[in-house]
């Protein structure tokens, strides 16, 4: 046998680093995989190909559980097939859930059915190893791992009490159903406005000249906003692709926002940038901050006092629409003004 000590390998599979905070997709998934078995020398058989199918689900920020069926097909040195069928439960421990690279350790326990011409046996099976996942789309992730598998023969059918093989697995995770969207954050209720005593009668003054009508719906919404209201001031194509540079359509909207903020000098605003889920968490966070800063810089350069403005970037963490469609992703690429 190539490796004698299973507990040491299980300990290696559970070696952990600090778990990083990434959003967990808690959908059920199917995981078809292709595997290659490096057979224990004591099996007196060549290495061979096989496959597996698992049904899994994330159950915590760190753990996935999977029910897995596997098969390995080997060629005996003495001639004939050597089939290994396994059924067991695996636990995958994720050191982080970064969509671009999520390393994990795996441990599992189950049963192994072994068959050679004229003889068969069923015994205990365990495995441990290391692997990684990489998200390809919202519903599909690439996965690969290497495992040490140990199985115990309960009879003398194979003239050996136990065997240990190495397996390399490559496959995909296919999520089932639609990805859950986070619930929208509740907005604080407007503060009550104190009722003031009636002002003494004054002599009527000439009516001021009427303000020019606002052209954009964003400006009209901002003009009527109260404390706690959220106005989507820019959305989707108002920025250059993958950039914080403002398009002409954004300039038109921001010019009217300047007009409203000069008229409504009773309000302050928090400028908040958002992105869709395309790209890494870190990149989207930086892009959302740069876009919020671009709006801030434009307003300040056109006469809005800097102390009335703050900025934040939320990256892809607060989608307002589903990221499963192009239209939804476009609407999630937005800059909001949250009225204080």
Query: ∠ CA(280), CA(22), CA(188), 5° rounding?
Result: 100
How many angstroms separate the first and last alpha carbons of the chain? 70
Fold of 217-339: 60s Ribosomal Protein L30; Chain: A; (3.30.1330)
Report pLDDT for 23: 56
- Looking at the predicted structure, is the pLDDT value of residue 58 above 70? yes
Joined together, the tokens standing for residue 245 give 């540079």
The alpha carbon torsion through 294, 298, 299, 304 (nearest 10 deg) reads 120
Largest separation between any pair of C-alpha atoms in the chain: 114
Whether the per-residue pLDDT at 5 is higher than 70: the answer is: no
pLDDT of residue 140: 96
Q: Which CATH number fits domain 6-175: 3.40.50.2300, 2.40.160.20, 2.40.50.140, 2.60.120.620?
A: 2.40.160.20
Decide: helix, strand or coil at residue 49: strand
Paired tokens of 152 = 């115990």
> Cα–Cα distance between 82 and 156 in angstroms, integer?
16
Is residue 312 within a helix (H) or strand (E), and if so which, with residue range? strand 309-313
**Residue for token pair 């967990």:** 24
- pTM (two decimals): 0.49
| Statement: residue 239 has pLDDT above 80 | no
Q: Which of 15-29, 138-152, 176-190 has the lowest mean pLDDT?
A: 15-29
d(CA 74, CA 161): 19
CATH 2.40.160.20 in the chain: give the residue spans: 6-175
> For 12, phi and psi rounded to 5 degrees?
-65, -40
Give per-residue pLDDT as tens, 65-108. 999 999 999 998 888 888 999 999 999 999 999 999 999 999 99
Among 48-57, 71-80, 131-140, which stretch is predicted with the lowest mean pLDDT? Answer: 71-80
Highest mean pLDDT among 67-81, 209-223, 232-246: 67-81
Contacts with 136 (C-beta within 8 Å, 6 or more apart), sequence order: 142, 172
User: pLDDT at residue 4 above 60?
Assistant: no
Q: Residue 286 belongs to what H/E stretch?
A: helix 281-301
Q: Where are the beta strands (DSSP E) in 63-213?
A: 63-75, 81-94, 102-116, 119-135, 140-152, 162-175
Alpha-carbon span 48 to 25, nearest angstrom: 34
| 91 vs 97: CA distance, rounded Å | 15
Q: Is the dihedral of CA 124, 35, 69, 114 positive or negative?
A: negative
Judged by phi (left if over 0) then psi (alpha if -120 to 50, else beta), residue 58 lies in beta
CATH code 3.30.1330.60 region(s) in the chain: 217-339
pLDDT band at 200 (very low <50, low <70, confident <90, very high): low
The C-alpha atoms of residue 53 and residue 34 are separated, in whole angstroms, by 9
């Amino acid at each position: 046998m190539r490796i004698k000590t299973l507990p040491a390998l299980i300990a290696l599979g559970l070696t952990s680093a600090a778990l990083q905070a990434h959003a967990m997709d808690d959908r059920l998934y199917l995981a078809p995989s292709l595997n290659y078995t490096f057979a224990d020398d004591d099996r007196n058989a060549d290495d061979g190909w096989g496959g597996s199918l698992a049904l899994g689900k994330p159950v915590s920020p760190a753990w996935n559980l999977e029910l897995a069926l596997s098969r390995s097909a080997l060629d005996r040195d003495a001639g004939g097939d050597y089939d290994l069928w396994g059924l067991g439960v695996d636990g995958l421990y994720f050191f982080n859930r970064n969509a671009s690279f999520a390393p994990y350790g795996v441990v599992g326990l189950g049963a192994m059915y072994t068959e050679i011409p004229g003889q068969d046996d069923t015994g205990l099976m365990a495995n441990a190893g290391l692997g990684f996942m990489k998200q390809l789309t919202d519903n599909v992730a690439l996965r690969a791992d290497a495992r040490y598998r140990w199985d115990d023969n309960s009879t003398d059918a194979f003239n050996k009490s136990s065997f240990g093989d190495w397996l390399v697995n490559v496959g995909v995770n296919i999520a089932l159903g639609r990805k859950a969207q986070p619930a929208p954050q509740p907005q604080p209720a407007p503060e009550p406005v104190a009722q003031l005593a009636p002002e003494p009668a004054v002599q009527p003054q000439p009516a001021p000249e009427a303000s020019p009508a606002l052209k954009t719906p964003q400006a009209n919404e901002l003009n009527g906003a109260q404390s706690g209201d959220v106005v989507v001031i820019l959305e989707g194509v108002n920025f250059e692709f993958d950039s914080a540079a403002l398009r002409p359509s954004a300039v038109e909207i921001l010019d009217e926002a300047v007009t409203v903020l000069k008229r409504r000098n009773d309000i302050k605003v928090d400028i908040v940038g958002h992105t869709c889920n395309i790209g890494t968490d870190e990149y989207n966070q930086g892009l959302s901050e740069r876009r919020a800063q671009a709006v801030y810089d434009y307003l300040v350069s056109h006469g809005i006092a800097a102390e009335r403005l703050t900025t934040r970037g939320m990256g892809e963490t607060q989608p307002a629409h589903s990221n499963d469609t192009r239209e939804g992703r476009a609407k999630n690429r937005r800059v909001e003004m949250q009225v204080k």
